[in-house]
A and B are shown apart, each in its own frame.
Chain A
Amino acid sequence: MPAFPQDSFEHPVTGSILDAFEEAWDGLGRPGTWWTGAQRLAIVEASRLAMTAGPRPIGEAVPSLCDLDRSDGPGISDLTLEVVRRVAAESGRIEATWAEEAIDLMGPGRYVELVALVVLTVPIDMFCELLGRPRQTLPAVVAGEAAGGVPEGVAAGGAYVPWLVNGWKGPNVARALSYVPADNDRRLAMVSSMYDGSEFFEMVWSHRSLSRPQIELLAARTSALNECFY
């Protein structure tokens, strides 16, 4: 039974968007590369709470990452909760020193997969809310251990996290999460279905109801509101 049937939305939603949502949702509770299914769902729940709470007021004390408990065990640690909170609700405030410390304490794999889980679910929840649909219930946990493994071709090089380096031709945002290929593929399917289709390099779009300048205006205003430089 699909999690996102067409008739759960008031207005027709493109099939490719629904397919991408199904794919993303199906993967949430499964063991990932660096987190178990239970831990992945705990990260998503923490991200939802952080999105609801919003950013902390400027000036409010935030905990030092190195002071936080970092034993994840079967659930997630205080360190992981704090990193989720920053990525989900305060990403515009992330600076290199903070990111480097988080990656150092968690390891690049766990950090990148955490980011992937946030950015897979924030758009789906927001899309549903904007269209008046309740947030989707999270899937069940699928038992099993995280697979581990670093993909071939990733290395340090210009970003906070290791990513695909040699011979990369596309935009940097497409390889941002290449350390966790399965989740990155799910994310790129969502980007394609919700934004550019296969027409990124075409300046006149015919695959959307809105024109490309209208889409880009929405995108640029959203990026500026989030104080995103990229």
Chain B
Amino acid sequence: MLLRESSNALDQTVDLAGTIGQGGESSVPHGDLLVAYAEAAHHDPASARELDYQMLEVVGPGGLVDAAATVAIFNGLVRSADATGIPLDEYVMNVTVDERQVLGLNDFSGSANS
């Protein structure tokens, strides 16, 4: 939801399928590289360093540090959410009905508690 809303705020359209590893070229600037970075970090953080050169060239050192910080903190947030069984916030639940269905998010085990 925040990806869609923040893209709208910048008059950008976004293909949410990129968040589940599908869809065409990302409409978010340098989105394909950022998705590749998140995926590499997930599979093996050390291997994500192979993308450093590209990341530095495209988003600079500040962008690289931002990307590392975002991936890292969300690896904490997902564990907080899954281990405590927190339900999706009511507002988010109401405005993401279609996206959750299309992206298959309702199949994740954590959905049972929302």
The residues of A with any CB-CB pair to B shorter than 8 Å are: 11-14, 17, 87-88, 91-96, 99, 112, 115, 118-120, 122-124, 126-127, 129-132, 158-161, 163, 171-173, 175-177, 187, 190-191, 193-195, 203-205, 208-230
Q: Which residues of A contact B8 (CB under 8 A)?
A: 203
A126 touches B45 (CB 8 A): yes
Q: Which residues of B contact A230 (CB under 8 A)?
A: 78, 81-82, 86, 88, 110, 114
Residue of A nearest to B38 (CB): A221
Q: Which residues of A contact B78 (CB under 8 A)?
A: 91-92, 222-223, 226, 228, 230
Beyond A11-B64, A218-B67, 18 additional pairs, beta carbon < 8 A: A88-B79, A91-B78, A92-B110, A95-B112, A119-B79, A126-B68, A127-B72, A130-B49, A195-B73, A211-B28, A214-B66, A216-B3, A217-B34, A222-B70, A222-B78, A223-B78, A224-B103, A228-B81
- Shortest beta-carbon distance from B88 to chain A in Å: 6
What are 14 pairs between A and B in contact, CB < 8 Å? Answer: A17-B69, A92-B108, A94-B85, A122-B75, A127-B68, A127-B69, A129-B46, A130-B67, A173-B81, A173-B86, A210-B59, A213-B10, A224-B105, A229-B108
Scan residues 77-104 of chain B and give those whose CB is less than 8 A from a CB of chain A. Answer: 77-89, 103
B89 touches A171 (CB 8 A): yes
- Shortest beta-carbon distance from A6 to chain B in Å: 12
Identify the interface centre among A115, A120, A209, A220: most chain B CB within 10 Å of its CB. A220
Q: Which residues of A contact B54 (CB under 8 A)?
A: none
Q: How many A-B residue pairs have CB under 8 A?
A: 268
The 4 closest A-B pairs by CB, nearest first: A209-B62, A160-B85, A229-B110, A203-B9
B80 touches A159 (CB 8 A): no
B69 touches A209 (CB 8 A): no
- Shortest beta-carbon distance from A54 to chain B in Å: 9
A130 touches B72 (CB 8 A): yes
Q: Report Cα–Cα, A191/B74, bound state, in Å.
A: 9
Q: Report Cα–Cα, A126/B78, bound state, in Å.
A: 14
Partner of A221, one of B39, B68, B88, B89: B39
- Shortest beta-carbon distance from B6 to chain A in Å: 4
- Shortest beta-carbon distance from B8 to chain A in Å: 7
Partner of A209, one of B63, B71, B84, B103: B63
Identify the interface centre among B30, B67, B80, B86: most chain A CB within 10 Å of its CB. B80
A223 touches B80 (CB 8 A): no
- Shortest beta-carbon distance from B35 to chain A in Å: 5
A225 touches B109 (CB 8 A): no
B49 touches A159 (CB 8 A): no
Q: Report Cα–Cα, A17/B70, bound state, in Å.
A: 11
B67 touches A210 (CB 8 A): yes
